[in-house]
Amino acid sequence: MIRNRCPHYFTFAKKHFAVWVTLGLCLLIGEGILDEPCRLAAATDEPEEFHGPPPHPGYPDPFEIGYILFDTFSPNKQFGIIYPNRLLEESPDFIVDLKHSRILALLETGEPYFEGKNHGDLAAHWAPNSSAAVIENSGKWEPIGLLLVELKDGKVILQTDLLDSLNKIFSPAIAKAQHSRVEDSAVGELDITGVKWKTGKSLQVEIKCEGSTNPKGFEEESSWYGELTAVWDVAQRKLVRHQLARVSFHAAGRKEQ
Amino acid sequence: MRLLLALLIISLECLSHAAEEKEGPIRLATAPSGEYAVDWTAPDGPPRVVSKPDGAVIAELKIPESEQSSGDHSMATPLPFISPDSNWVFVMNVDNDAPPPESFSRPSALFRRTRSSDGTIHFEAATPDRFDKAAWEFLDKELKLGRPDLPPDAKRVYSASFIDWSRDSARLLLSVGGGAWSPSKSEWVEAAAYTWYCYFNTRSGKFELTDRLRTADTRPERKSNTSDDAFALLAVVTNAESIGEEGPQSSPKERFDVVDKRLNDVYDKLIAKIEPAKRESIRNEQRAWLISRDTEAEIAALQMWSSGREATARILESKAISTEARVAELEKLLSGSQVK
């Protein structure tokens, strides 16, 4: 059984639950909103455990003692992500079906996230209908992976790394400003600032990010900065719109151009 | 008044629930025979063998301290691997958070199940000294691994990692390493980068090498730092040989490469032959199968607690087996009536 990401906080909360309930009820009575019990229920609505496949006979269960259930779930609460703790820190992250206790797919990111990873973080942005998610695996200067995971009939059917597509927009703009070749021009720092799902005729995801070539601000290096808004259409499997804004360029050793 | 009574009942209910939630022992492994299990209370309890029917504690599996061991291993997680006949338990302590040299160290012990005349079960250590140290000393003698002129303050650090139990429980396959650390210089004075294979033969009670292991241990690739899997995998062993079934291990890389080529050939033929309307469906099915194959292979390697090259080899083995089954499926489809 893999517990939720914050087992210590969870245990603490349970141990002191009586106090919290008493205080909470007093507050609710005071506020006169005791007739809204759904507010209390909402706090305990999240899945807490995941049971992986049975272990090899006689051996420890890696999913029992080596994995942690990430605390962001699909809106229908069926899907989630598990990542390794320090015991299995070189092992992959997986997307799992919590309802049927099944591991659906390993997340195809270059460097998997693990508990306590230096400069690492994990975020999951689920589509409202739980049919897709953008998984953000952060690194020090840029995401290690920005993975679009598509699900159908309870299976993972496709994983697409969106970083390549974003970099393909940044690179020509940087090359133009720097008078360099496109293949030699890339952002040095990429910061995802927003992921927003759009439902309408087709399922789309809007990604906002900031790219810069000189994150440490070295004077002897040129410095390009731009903010990108790009929209990926899930059915068409491509970026259908993009816009670069607030672009600035400082040549090496010069003032702003 | 009724509200106060309700509050009191809710509070008592929650208090009793909180008591039940108190962290208990974790079940680390269950014997294949189902007779006993190994439990552990984090963070520093010794692993305990408990009877499966009644939960009674049978034994504590404590790894003996080594004279040369230094540092604190109290945060290590013990990993038990029980033999197929349930008569042996290999336990290794893993602490990836420890600073060097403890991060390299894998203290371990092998315990044998015995039964006294009154039927009581006991577990006793198979070697008088630490198992990892004994394994290293055996390999050092066989393969001349260690540097003879260590500086006076150097401390030898050992690691013995579990790889496999043979099906007959007669051999425990280990990956063993040793290095020497100088506390005054805070550096390795003998590299701890490499590991070698050896068996512990549970029938003779001794460490041993077979031709399979000796060949792998003495290949130059064993000490290579290349990331080229094909090269590095030449010196990898993942399966322990049963007594009387000794012999070379087939290369998982070769097996996978052969069947992967066959898969591509069959798939291309199928796509070319099939009705255009069905092509997209076959493509989608193949994509989903690839995701499933790769995921199952990773799970199989994780269930054996493999890492590094052994993990790569086991993933390739698993992928080869799944791909062979897929090729058979697609060949059937190719010759079947679904194709125009």
- Spatial contact of A247 and A257, defined as CB atoms under 8 Å apart: no
pTM for the complete prediction?
A: 0.84
Closest in A25, A57, A91 to B7, CB measured: A25
Model confidence over B170-220: pLDDT tens digits? 999 999 988 888 888 888 888 777 889 999 999 999 999 999 999 999 887
Task: Please name the residue of chain B whose CA is at the shortest distance from the CA of residue A22.
Answer: B7
Closest CA to A92 of A135, A58, A132: A135
- Spatial contact of B50 and B27, defined as CB atoms under 8 Å apart: no
Give the DSSP letter of residue A202: S
CA atoms within 13 A on the CB side of B37: 15
Model confidence over B67-83: pLDDT tens digits? 544 455 556 899 999 99
Interface contact flag, A86 B97, Cβ < 8 Å: yes
3-state SS assignment for residue A129: coil
Give the DSSP letter of residue A15: H
What distance in Å separates the CA atoms of residue A25 and residue A34, rounded to the nearest whole number? 8
Closest CA to B324 of B243, B237, B263: B263
Q: Domains of chain B (ranges plus CATH)?
A: 2-249 (no CATH), 254-339 (1.20.1270)
Interface contact flag, B18 A16, Cβ < 8 Å: yes
- Spatial contact of B123 and B110, defined as CB atoms under 8 Å apart: no
Give the DSSP letter of residue B65: P
Closest in A60, A65, A103 to B299, CB measured: A103
Q: Where does the pLDDT of residue B293 fall: very low under 50, low under 70, confident under 90, or very high at 90 and above?
A: very high
B69 by Cβ neighbours in 10 Å (0-12 / 13-18 / 19+) ranks as buried
Q: By 3-state DSSP, what share of chain B in percent is helix, strand and coil, each rounded to 5?
A: 40, 25, 40
Model confidence over A180-233: pLDDT tens digits? 888 888 888 889 999 999 998 999 999 999 999 987 878 888 889 999 999 999
In this predicted complex, what is the ipTM?
A: 0.87
Strand arrangement, sheet containing A67-69: A67-69, A79-84, A94-97, A102-106
Surface of B (156-215) touching A: CB under 8 A: 165
Pairing of strands B187-190, B195-201: unpaired
What distance in Å separates the CA atoms of residue B119 and residue B317, rounded to the nearest whole number? 42
Average pLDDT of A23-49?
51
Average pLDDT of A144-168?
93
Residue A125: per-residue pLDDT: 97
Q: How far does B171 lie from chain A, in Å, by closest CA?
A: 15
Cβ contacts of B293 within 8 Å, gap of 6 or more: B319, B322, B323, B326
Strand arrangement, sheet containing A132-138: A121-126, A132-138, A143-152, A155-161
- Could you tell me the two tokens for A104? 């659906």
